[in-house]
Amino acid sequence: MHAGAWVAWVLMVMTIALVTTNPLYLCLLLLSILVVAAFAPRSATGALGFRVLFIGGFLLLGFSALIATINGGAGDRVLFTMPGPGLPSWLGGLSLGGPVTAENMTAALTRGLAILCVFLGFAIFNGAVSPHRVLRLGPAALFHAGLVLTVGLTLLPSTIADFRRLREMRQLRGGGAGIRHIPSLLAPAVIGGLERAFRLAEAIEARGYAAPPPMPLRARLAGFAAAPLALVAGWVWLYADALTALAAALAAAAMGTLVYWGVATSRARHTTKMRAESLAPLDIAGIAAALTVIGAALSARATGWTDLTYNPFAGLPSPSLEVAGMALMLLVLWPLPSLLRQPPAEDRSAIPIRTTGEATHR
């Protein structure tokens, strides 16, 4: 599958997970992600990275429940009470201990489930697409940002590879490699991954990926002005109902300055590609579907054409399920036709090995 299609897919997963607070929809989203993970290609390091992020997502889910237990919360259905000291009011309502309610635990588990979906989506993307393919997708204006992202994406796989190598070396020397020995292996593995990422950055810079010539002053001023204009436009849109036209004009000005900066930066840097990655019709349809789902999810949260939210503090009602919301979650499965069309990886372990005697006899 094309790298751009994977980028669109992971952005779609992150958008849906972050705008949805209904636990039933998030469970359906999680099942869809796991189905895609079962057919997504990944190397040995990518498989181990998926396992690490999968465990990390569940740890964050448990940590969210632990924080909700320690802090207590509001609600009518009290599960148990945690003892804790009383804190002064000037700390902003911070509390330690108190009644632990079913409403607060439901909200905490819902937040943890959304984080788990984001972690798994990124794990599938990191295992299926190499950072170098992602770097080729970026426009020339964002070349250095893509370069930094590429170096950052190589940190996790290199750290995992170093961790596995150190663990095997310790086992060969007769040392322990259980859970209690992980902290002693983690520090050298992280250091090794950082060193490998730094070597990659130095090699990239030594091969000519250096800073481009400075842009004209107008382009730099346009780039600096884009963010303040967008912030002022958002503030006016939210807090000044009578100045919506001014907010729209400021947003258009911010977009125009950003486009001008991008065009000027692209002209200042000339890049070549050894081999362009072609887009299949299924990939084009998948990217269009992902962009449509992203827009539909954002508009659902803004306009409420389908309810993706859930408020457990309103008496802990039963979460609602709508056909439109279920369709949004199931559209995460759109990479399956492309993944099922890919030929299976060659199983080299099943290839018979000829001995010298057999080869001589033939």
Domain for residue 96, yes or no? yes
Does residue 226 sit in the same domain as residue 121? no
Domain for residue 153, yes or no? no
Instruction: Please tell me the total count of domains within the chain.
Output: 2
> What pLDDT is attached to residue 348?
36
pLDDT in tens, 281-301: 888 998 999 999 999 998 888
Does residue 117 sit in the same domain as residue 64? yes
When the pLDDT of each residue in the chain is averaged and rounded to a whole number, the result is: 79
Does residue 40 sit in the same domain as residue 125? yes
Does residue 122 sit in the same domain as residue 86? yes
Q: By the 8 A CB rule, do 26 and 117 touch?
A: yes
Does residue 245 sit in the same domain as residue 304? no
Q: Which helix or strand (DSSP H or E) is residue 80 part of?
A: strand 78-82
Does residue 246 sit in the same domain as residue 300? no
Does residue 259 sit in the same domain as residue 299? no
Q: Which range marks the domain in which residue 230 is found?
A: 215-268
Residue 53 pLDDT > 50: yes
Bigger pLDDT: 241 vs 257: 257
Domain for residue 179, yes or no? no
Termini Cα distance of the chain: 42
Residue 46 pLDDT > 70: no
Bigger pLDDT: 81 vs 268: 81
pLDDT in tens, 299-351: 888 787 888 999 888 888 889 889 999 999 999 999 998 888 876 544 333 33
Domain for residue 301, yes or no? yes
Does residue 295 sit in the same domain as residue 259? no
Q: Residues 6 or more apart from 267 whose CB is under 8 A from it? A: none
Does residue 8 sit in the same domain as residue 129? yes
Does residue 25 sit in the same domain as residue 128? yes
Q: What percent of the chain has pLDDT over 90?
A: 19
Residue 221 pLDDT > 80: yes
- Running DSSP on this structure, what letter comes out for residue 178? S
Residue with tokens 């996790």: 156
Does residue 70 sit in the same domain as residue 39? yes
Residue 357 pLDDT > 60: no
pLDDT in tens, 244-277: 888 888 889 988 988 888 787 777 666 665 566 7
Rg (CA), the chain: 25
Mean pLDDT of 167-181: 73
Residue 98 dihedral angles phi and psi, to the nearest 5°: 110, -175
- The encoded tokens of residue 280 equal 């299949």
Does residue 71 sit in the same domain as residue 124? yes
Domain for residue 232, yes or no? yes
Domain for residue 263, yes or no? yes
Residue 124 pLDDT > 70: yes
Residue with tokens 């559209």: 331
Angle at 211 between CA 264 and CA 135, to 5 degrees: 80
Domain for residue 44, yes or no? yes
